[in-house]
Structure 1
Amino acid sequence: MVKLYLVRHGIAAEREEYTEDALRPLTSEGKQKTKQVAQQLFKLGLRFDLILTSPLVRARQTADILKAIGLSSQLEESTHLTPEGDIYSWLTWWEEWHQDVNSLALVGHEPNLGEWTEILVWGEAKGNLVVKKAGVIGVQLPKDGSPVGRSLLFWLTPPKFLL
């Protein structure tokens, strides 16, 4: 089994402040709260073989904080995790690559993370699962075969429970 943690980026600057959405950084509050969440995850014993992040600034900054706290020594960017990303293209990549990974963090955006969780656990997205900023969802993926509709939701934590 593979433990997959879906982590939403922290609080980011308002859209109106930036001409490009991809350039919006975390606010100082977003950095502080994300660091507190990461420290709690570390205290709880979470460690990731890899952190895979959206290349958008706010997600990359969130992933950098997770790495700096010591949750993983490996971090990579993936366009699959952008707001336009598609779970099925990510799954194709994952099936070819995941052999040595037992614990993986995906740092991304809403509504993707909630919808991806619904697809993995229930086989379809209904838009009912929402991940708060700096929130974490844990899903166990089966080692063999498609994880769609066959995964187990084991953790759904808004950041307020980790602060």
Structure 2
Amino acid sequence: MGPVLVVRHAIAEPRDQAPDGRDRTRRVSDQGQQVMRRAALGLRRVVEHLPLVAHSPLTRAVQTAAILDAAFPESTARRELAALAPGGDPAAIFQWLAGIDETPVALVGHEPDLGCWVGHALIGSPVSFLAFPKASVCLLDFPEGAAPGAARLIGHYPPRVLSDLSEVAQ
């Protein structure tokens, strides 16, 4: 298994501005779109292609995945993965990754679940110890396959760093 990019969704609108007032339908805000587009361009300096982006079914994660897709138009496909929704099953993410042939793959989801899943991947315990601001990316490698405690941390990129990388790319 190759690299896995763990991506927190972009900045979303307040709940009271969601179409139906529910958390799951909150959309990426204008500011969030701008920050995520720059982050996605910077991400192109980290990985050359991105064959697959899996995302939570919540609107803001779907929209974040679409922004990643636009930054990697030559190679990206998107898949909804229910386990990436808040409260999802971390074991199901490992199981899904075990069946993936193409890498790198991106996982777009939510906090605190993503931080706990990264901890589980790195140390085998669902403990969050990395800051995961919105639109940030954590790059993991699973040299022996996707399993708890089997990951190596390759990079951790807050949106500001990815934005700086996007300026280098232009």
Instruction: State TM-score, norm by structure 1.
Output: 0.90
Q: Which moved more, 1:103-112 or 1:39-48?
A: 39-48
In structure 2, the partner of 1:60 is 62
1:160 positional shift: 1.0
Unaligned 5+ residue runs, structure 2? 164-170
1:45 positional shift: 4.1
Deviations, residues 5-50 of structure 1 (Å, cap 9, x unaligned): 0011111011243321110001100001100111111244432221
Q: Distance in 1 between matches of 2:129 and 2:97?
A: 25
Aligned length: 160
In structure 2, the partner of 1:84 is 87
In structure 1, the partner of 2:127 is 126
Does structure 1 conserve the Cα–Cα contact (< 8 Å) formed by 2:57 and 2:85? yes
* Partner SS state of residue 6, structure 2: strand
Runs of 4+ that moved beyond 6 A:
none
Does structure 1 conserve the Cα–Cα contact (< 8 Å) formed by 2:52 and 2:103? no
RMSD of the TM alignment (CA)?
1.6
In structure 2, the partner of 1:153 is 153
Q: Distance in 1 between matches of 2:40 and 2:139?
A: 14
Does structure 1 conserve the Cα–Cα contact (< 8 Å) formed by 2:50 and 2:72? no
Instruction: Give % identity.
Output: 34
Does structure 2 conserve the Cα–Cα contact (< 8 Å) formed by 1:51 and 1:106? yes
Q: Distance in 1 between matches of 2:45 and 2:129?
A: 30
1:65 positional shift: 0.6
Q: Distance in 2 between matches of 1:60 and 1:136?
A: 16
Instruction: State TM-score, norm by structure 2.
Output: 0.87
Unaligned 5+ residue runs, structure 1? none
